[in-house]
Each structure stands twice: as structure tokens, then as C-alpha cells.
Amino acid sequence: MRKVLICFAFILGSAAQAEEVVIAALGDSLTQGYGLPAEEGFVPQLQAWLDAEGVEAKVVNAGVSGDTTAGGLARVDWTLTPEVDALIVTLGGNDMLRGLDPAQARGNIDGILAAAEQAKVDVLLVGMSAPGNYGAGYKADFEGLYPTLAEQYETLFYPDFFTGLLAEEEGMSTARSETIQRYFQGDGIHPNAKGVALIVEDIGPSVSELAAQAKAQER
């Protein structure tokens, strides 16, 4: 009887594990968790949020610090292993910092989404806000590529990785808006642990929707 119970427990555990959706987070240093202790990075905090919400999903950190959209495209095929059910794409920040052509970024992300479509993997595409120092045309072209591709590939879309922080800034005066920097590390680019927490709180429901969509596709 004991052996039967152990076997039954093992089967139940395997079944529960099989129901867990595996989500790969393909991105750059923002995804990788640059400058933060491992447990305070984006992926660990997102995992904790999903666990607290009862979402049966495991998030795999596929973030590489310094990566551009070209780097993401170069490694998307080996990121999309057979175990991966869904993909979060957060790329483009380093392209913008280097002033790379938005058309190049668009082509690379197009390739990533095409690979995900081929692998039958659901996607949450995360947009980025471009700085204005390259001109209004550059800013419009870069920011516009994300919703355009999301619509083309019919993926889930989250407008800006920093939306959770931007929400904190709404209603502040110019002077007070400078206090938003308390959510960033010293470089003013990468969020600190508190900043990541705000980002995760805002993007979490979209990731939960991604997990639900992927689970529905499995049935």
C-alpha cells in the first residue's frame, strides 16, 4: 500500500508539473537583472509575483546584458527549446542607446516573432520609449515598430517596460518628477530593486494573461 501511495503521489506531482507553463524572458540587462542581487532581478521578482497570484508558470531568464535586437535574434532559436511554451520579448534599449537604425531593430524583432510563430509559442512583446535626442522622427519610428509588429503577429503587447515607473511619475511637477530617480541605480538607466518591484506589479497581469493563453493552447 505504501508503494502504491508513493507511486500515486509521484504521478500527481508529475501531472502538476506538466501543467506548469514555461515562459522564456528574452531580453537584455533589464531582463537579466544587471547590478542587482540574483533574487532582486526582474525574473525572480516576476516569478514571485506569479507564485503569489497562483499562476502556474515558470519564468526562465534569457536576458543577456548589453544585448541588442540582433543579439536576441541570433539566440532565439536555441532559446525556444521544446519545453518553452511562451516568450516575453524585451529588446531594443541598447539599439536606442547606440543610435542604431529603427528599421534594423524592426527587422530583428520581426525575425524573433517569426521564429516564435514557427515554434507555436505565444508571445508578449514589450515596447520601449525612445529618447528625443535623435530627433522626433527617430523616436516615432522606434516606438512605432512595437505595436505594429504586435498587431502583425497578433501577439500580446505591453507598451513600455518602464510603465510601472511612469505611472509613479504622473501628476508630479517637473521638480518632483526627479524623485523618480530613486527607483534607479546610480547609472540612471537600470532600475533598482524597488523600481523592479513597481515594474513587475504593472506588467504582471500581462504575463499572467500570456501564461493563460499558452496553457489554453496546450489543450
Q: Residue 2 above 60 pLDDT?
A: no
Band the pLDDT of 18: cuts 50, 70, 90.
low
CATH code, 177: 3.40.50.1110
pLDDT digits (tens, 9 = 90+) for 122-159: 999 999 999 889 999 999 999 999 999 999 999 999 99
Residue 115's identity, in one-letter code, is: A
Q: What's the number of domains the chain is made of?
A: 1
Q: Is residue 8 part of a domain?
A: no
pLDDT for position 218: 73
> In sequence order, which residues have a C-beta less than 8 Å from that of residue 114 and are 6 or more positions away?
153
- Residue 157's domain comprises 21-218
Q: Is residue 14 part of a domain?
A: no
Q: Residue 176 above 60 pLDDT?
A: no
Q: What is the mean pLDDT of residues 157-175?
A: 74
% pLDDT > 90, the chain: 80
Q: Residue 46 above 50 pLDDT?
A: yes
> In sequence order, which residues have a C-beta less than 8 Å from that of residue 109 and are 6 or more positions away?
69, 72, 73, 89, 91, 92, 125, 145, 146, 149
In 10 A of CB 195, how many CB atoms? Answer: 22
Catalytic residues: 29, 187, 190
pLDDT for position 217: 84
Q: Residue 184 above 60 pLDDT?
A: yes
pLDDT for position 169: 58
Q: 69-79 and 102-118 are packed helices; what angle lies between their axes, rounded to 10 degrees?
A: 10
Cell of 148: 505594429
Q: What backbone phi and psi angles, to 5 degrees, belong to 157?
A: -135, 130
pLDDT for position 168: 64
Q: Is residue 158 part of a domain?
A: yes
Cell of 78: 536555441
Among residues 146, 170, 54, 43, which one has the least CA distance to residue 96?
146
pLDDT for position 11: 34
Q: What is the mean pLDDT of residues 44-64?
A: 98
Q: Which residues pair with 88 in a beta bridge?
A: 25, 124
Q: Residue 172 above 70 pLDDT?
A: no
Q: Is residue 1 part of a domain?
A: no
pLDDT digits (tens, 9 = 90+) for 71-123: 999 999 999 999 999 999 999 999 999 999 999 999 999 999 999 999 999 99
Q: Residue 13 above 80 pLDDT?
A: no
Q: Is residue 135 part of a domain?
A: yes
Greater pLDDT, 167 or 153: 153
Q: Is residue 6 part of a domain?
A: no
pLDDT for position 5: 35
> What would the 3-class secondary structure string for 138-193 be?
HHHHHHHHHHHHHHHHCCEEECCCCHHHHHHHCCCCHHHHHHHHHHECCCCCCECH
Q: Is residue 15 part of a domain?
A: no
